[in-house]
Amino acid sequence: MNCPDCSTLMVAKQVPEYDLGGMFGLSSVTLLNAPAEVCPSCGHVLVPGTIVDEAHEALVAELLGARHVLGPEEFRFLRKAALLSQSALADRLGVNRVEVSRWETEKVGISAPVSLAIRAVVANVVYGNEMAKVERIRTAFSAEPMLNTPTGHEISRGAGVRGMVATPASVRHHHLQAH
């Protein structure tokens, strides 16, 4: 495969860290030890989509099973993972779209009941009748800091926490380990 930036032939390598934060809309998501195609000329890195998809699914499952109050980034990430507009989510939660916008922009703090409600809506939309899958993944995350996914990639959660108004443990730093 040739580099999309400079057309140089890319080389298969394992990258120690690959930032997925911007792609996922979260401030700190890092894929560790991921197989990738790397351009020896310009340094452009391409991680296979299957690994990115697996990391996304694992983060959704982790956030659905977590017990902390969601932060604005996490709230927005889950809404988008369910492919719901702010209006569609507002309808399902029984609130005005403006309220959803305020939660996502941190103009209004997200309460514990709202965190639980968004998790329930997203779990229903994303997993439907496959809620046992969410429970299996959540249990694995609760029992151990590492989870081996069906394709053998190891996903771990980092311990860093950044405080926010009304939700002191809302934004977690996620580290995803690829094998």
pLDDT in tens, 139-174: 544 433 333 334 443 444 343 222 222 222 222 345
Break the chain into its structural domains and give their ranges.
11-177
Distance CA(26)–CA(150), nearest Å, equals 24
Structure-token pair, residue 4: 């999309």
**Is it the case that residue 105 has pLDDT exceeding 80?**
yes
CA distance 144 to 16: 22
Torsion of CA 115, 120, 126, 132, to 10 degrees: 120
Spatial separation of the C-alpha atoms in residues 153 and 139, rounded to whole Å: 17
Q: What is the pLDDT of residue 169?
A: 24
Considering the entire predicted model, what is its pTM? 0.72
How many Å apart are CA 91 and CA 100, to the nearest integer?
A: 10
Q: Which residue do the tokens 């950044």 mark?
A: 162
Q: For the domain 11-177, what is the CATH code? A: 1.10.260.40
Report the alpha-carbon distance of residue 70 to residue 72 in Å, rounded.
Answer: 7
